[in-house]
């Protein structure tokens, strides 16, 4: 009995925009984390140690070194193995979407490339260090935190990978919404 393996050609042909976004986002993320480790991280830093806020735009944006042992907002902190497995699974699902995407779905491919770049960047940190390196910080209180308990007082420290994941997810939602509207319009026209 032979096992039929689907052709890998749909992963590559016409989908270079996905790989360009993935590589560019990953390079920028890893470079920026290395830069921050060399310049933002305080000398003699140990995880858990408080770190200073270095303002770039006073009261708006700053550098602040932090390590995150969890996922977004430090959820599942200390569960490195679980987060690694979940990250690898998510990458597998993304690659399935890339495989199935049409070459004309460029916005979807860009979004998936950005999400994949951020996922790989944070996964690299998690496997290499046991935590994710963060260094960007919004230095103001978030509106609504006083009355809504699910809104933190301050946005957590983040990195380029987090930006890529968020931007990519927004693009995937927009692309999916456009696709759904196009399919609904085609169904009405038929």
Q: What is the pLDDT of residues 161-175, one digit of tens each?
A: 999 999 999 999 999
Whole-angstrom Cα distance, residue 149 to residue 163? 24
Contact 110, 21 (CB under 8 A): yes
More reliable by pLDDT, 183 or 34 = 34
Residue 77 is predicted with a pLDDT of 58
DSSP class of 152? -
Whether residue 2 is predicted with pLDDT greater than 80 in this model: the reply is: no
Interatomic CA distance for residues 139 and 117, integer angstroms: 26
pLDDT for 6 beyond 80: no
Write down the catalytic residue from 29, 125, 139, 162.
Answer: 162
Please give the distance of CA 177 from its chain centroid, rounded to a whole number. Answer: 20
Give me the pLDDT at residue 1, please: 57
Q: Is 23 in contact with 164 (CB distance < 8 Å)?
A: no
State the pLDDT confidence band at 78, using cuts at 50, 70 and 90. low
Could you report the per-residue pLDDT of 28-55, keeping only the tens digit for each?
999 999 999 999 999 888 888 889 999 9
Does residue 134 have an active-site annotation? Answer: yes
CA dist 188 → 175, 180, 181 (Å) = 20, 12, 11
| Residues 6 or more apart whose Cβ sits within 8 Å of residue 161 | 25, 29, 117, 118, 119, 121, 122, 132
Assess whether 162 carries a catalytic annotation: yes
Please classify residue 119 by burial: count the beta carbons closer than 10 Å to its beta carbon, then call 0-12 exposed, 13-18 middle and 19+ buried: buried
Q: Is the pTM for the entire model greater than 0.75?
A: yes
The pLDDT tens digits for 115-146 are 999 999 999 999 899 889 999 999 887 777 67
Reading phi first (left if > 0) and then psi (alpha if -120 to 50, else beta), residue 44 is in left
Q: How far apart are the first and last CA of the chain?
A: 43
Confidence of residue 7 (pLDDT cuts 50, 70, 90): low
E strands, the chain, in order: 54-57, 61-68, 132-138
Which residue of the set 9, 134, 139, 141 is catalytic?
134
- Long-range pairs of 96-105 with CB within 8 A, sequence gap ≥ 24: 98/11, 98/15, 98/18, 99/6, 99/10, 99/11, 100/10, 101/15, 101/18, 103/13, 103/14, 103/15, 105/175, 105/179
Q: Say what the pLDDT of residue 105 is.
A: 92
Q: What is the pLDDT of residue 21?
A: 97
């Amino acid at each position: 009995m032979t096992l039929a393996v689907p052709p890998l050609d749909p992963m590559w042909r016409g989908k270079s925009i996905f790989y360009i976004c993935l590589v560019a986002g990953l390079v920028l993320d890893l470079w920026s984390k290395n830069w921050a480790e060399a310049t933002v991280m305080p000398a003699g830093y140990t995880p858990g140690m408080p770190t200073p806020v270095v303002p770039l735009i006073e009261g708006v944006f700053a550098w602040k070194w932090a390590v995150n042992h969890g996922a977004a907002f430090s959820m599942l902190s200390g569960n490195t193995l679980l987060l690694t497995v979940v990250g690898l699974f998510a990458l597998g699902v993304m690659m399935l979407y890339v495989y199935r995407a049409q070459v004309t779905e460029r916005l979807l491919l860009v979004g998936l490339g950005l999400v994949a770049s951020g996922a790989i960047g944070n996964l690299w940190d998690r496997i290499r260090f046991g935590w994710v390196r963060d260094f960007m910080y919004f230095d103001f209180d978030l509106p609504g935190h006083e009355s809504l308990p699910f809104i933190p007082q301050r946005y957590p420290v983040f990195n380029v990978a987090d930006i890529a994941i968020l931007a990519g997810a927004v693009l995937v939602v927009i692309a999916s919404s456009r696709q759904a509207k196009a399919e609904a319009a085609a169904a009405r026209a038929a």
